[in-house]
A and B are shown apart, each in its own frame.
Chain A
Amino acid sequence: EAGVAQSPRYKIIEKRQSVAFWCNPISGHATLYWYQQILGQGPKLLIQFQNNGVVDDSQLPKDRFSAERLKGVDSTLKIQPAKLEDSAVYLCASSLNRGPSSGANVLTFGAGSRLTVL
């Protein structure tokens, strides 16, 4: 099966500029996640969608970050305006999510989008 697709792979912008990342999950996966991975740290969940609804955005800096998942398939994460501390890899993941202890609850990750803010 095709994996989780993300673009662009790399992006360099200056602070206060805007940037958008795109993710296409595995076909049929109801749940989509955006994680932020800062160098030297583990991935941190920014936002989680179940179909096209948000189920967790508690760690999303909503003054500058936004995300949408129209039609419950692909998703876009936007940062506007960017700050230096937003330099990170933005990971998209998806899962089937058919129940709390189902084997389908394994997350599959994309290759990530590396953002450098100068």
Chain B
Amino acid sequence: AQSVSQHNHHVILSEAASLELGCNYSYGGTVNLFWYVQYPGQHLQLLLKYFSGDPLVKGIKGFEAEFIKSKFSFNLRKPSVQWSDTAEYFCAVKGPGGYNKLIFGAGTRLAVHP
């Protein structure tokens, strides 16, 4: 069965620090990959997605992620975080098949201090 691992459950950073959140998935075939974000008190929102093509994907608010097929990884990065990036971040993977089932990781809670 497919699974998604997020390495860090809690990350604390100061503003302007760089961010990298790890995500590994178990499926070896063609996958679609996603990062969702949940700001405090808000619903899950799509941050970025990878379907095919350039493995470096840019999303909203300066976030990017790199798909490395050989490492089964899809790590999220941001060069300089802001206090407003405080949120929980979820990596998700969709395997083959036409029914679009998303498997989520456990999430990483990011706290950015001013």
Contact = CB atoms under 8 A, between A and B. Distances in A.
Interface of A: 3, 31, 33, 35, 40-45, 48, 50, 55-56, 91, 93, 95, 97, 99-101, 103, 105-112
Contacts, number: 66
Interface residues of B, number: 28
A111 B107 CA distance: 17
Contacts of A33: 102
B90 to A, nearest CB: 5
Interface string B30-54: 0010101000001111100101100
A43 B107 CA distance: 9
A56 B46 contact: no
Given A43-B90, A101-B52, 10 more contacts: A40-B106, A40-B107, A42-B90, A42-B92, A42-B104, A45-B103, A56-B99, A95-B100, A101-B32, A103-B51
Interface of B: 4, 6, 32, 34, 36, 42-46, 49, 51-52, 90, 92, 94, 96-107
Nearest to A108: B46
A105 B43 contact: no
Contacts of A103: 51
Contact of B96 (A41, A55, A95, A100): A100
Nearest to A101: B51
A55 B99 CA distance: 7
Contacts of A91: 43-44
B67 to A, nearest CB: 14
Nearest to B43: A111
A38 to B, nearest CB: 10
Contacts of B99: 31, 48, 50, 55-56, 97
A107 B43 CA distance: 12
B107 A41 contact: yes
B111 to A, nearest CB: 15
Nearest to A4: B43
